[in-house]
Structure 1
Amino acid sequence: MTPPVILISDDEPLIVSALAREARRSGLTCVSDTTSERVLELARQHHPAVIILDINQHQDGRDLLAQLKQDPLTRDCKVIILSGVEDQFTRHVCFELGADDYEVKPFDPTFITRIARLATSVAHARS
């Protein structure tokens, strides 16, 4: 079985690099975007098990989330929102739009371990 794919979209290259490095160590395949402009294209192309989506990017993460969840090719991808702001209203909106989880930066060191488990379970369910 091929390793599960995750898509990381964050405008901070250091966060993308750190998450991708840890994800690869956990046996995942990573695709990333630091501009938010290719998220939909990459999600359609790679059909990742999990998408880690920063909410504050060039294109608003809430808009991207809504588009991902409305697209027949990407709506079943698990989407984890990553945000630098702990805001209950924004969290609520993201869950209403279909987010599967909401993580606040700086994220817990076990974050990527949880993502790896989720991606693996999604990949197994798809096969």
Structure 2
Amino acid sequence: MFLEIQMSDLYKKKIIIVEDSEFSRLLIDVKLKNAGFTNTHLPLSSVEAWEQIAQAQLSDHPFDLVISDLNMPDLDGMDLLSKIKDDPMSEKLKVIIVSADADKPIQNIALSLGASAYVTKPFVPEELIKVVKAVLQGEEIPPIKGMFPAS
């Protein structure tokens, strides 16, 4: 019963998907919803996402997780990650970076800035769901490279 309650709470976590590609944004959202996550938010830009994150962190219903692309106009994923981690109100917010950039140095920078996980596109949606669950449960995740775990 405890596990059922814990899993039920997991699926109610507030997740914001920050992705400039509408296709990718909707794909991630659909896969999360199919997995049972019901509280997802899809801002149209990274700037709008930061505004929503900053506002939510001041409310009784802050975000629990950010899933963000890296390469976006206006405010890229690294800058968004830095803003989140530099702000005392959001510094503990968990962030998963999902990017086509497979460079190890870029992954290391994102992780050193405080990303909880790094997933390289294209990814198997079920693998992303596993990463989301693990991050929300506080587990450490190795970088996921494309269709296979990074070596």
Aligned position for 1:125? none
Higher relative contact order (CA closer than 8 Å, sequence separation 6+) = 1
What amino acid does structure 2 have at the position aligned with 1:45? Q
CA positional deviation for 1:53: 0.8
Which of 93, 97, 100 is 2:109 aligned to? 93
User: Counterparts of 1:1-127 in structure 2 under 5 Å?
Assistant: 3-25=12-34, 26-46=36-56, 47-58=62-73, 59-110=75-126, 111-119=128-136, 121=137
List per-residue Cα deviations over 1:11-35 (Å, max 9, x = no partner). Answer: 1001111111221232331111232
Q: Alignment length, in residue pairs?
A: 121
Q: Percent identity among equivalent residues?
A: 26
What amino acid does structure 2 have at the position aligned with 1:41? E
What TM-score do the two structures reach when normalised by structure 1? 0.84
The answer for unaligned runs of 5 or more in structure 1 is 123-127
Secondary structure of the structure 2 residue equivalent to 1:82: strand
After the TM superposition, list the runs of 4 or more consecutive aligned residues in structure 1 that deviate by more than 4 angstroms. Answer: none
Q: Contact (CA 8 Å) 1:10, 1:57: kept in 2 or not?
A: yes
Over the aligned positions, Cα root-mean-square deviation in angstroms equals 1.8
What amino acid does structure 1 have at the position aligned with 2:48? R
Secondary structure of the structure 2 residue equivalent to 1:33: coil
What amino acid does structure 2 have at the position aligned with 1:77? L
Distance 1:34 1:86 in 2: 25
Q: Contact (CA 8 Å) 1:28, 1:116: kept in 2 or not?
A: no
Distance 1:112 1:49 in 2: 15
The answer for unaligned runs of 5 or more in structure 2 is 1-8, 57-61, 139-151
Q: Contact (CA 8 Å) 2:19, 2:72: kept in 1 or not?
A: yes
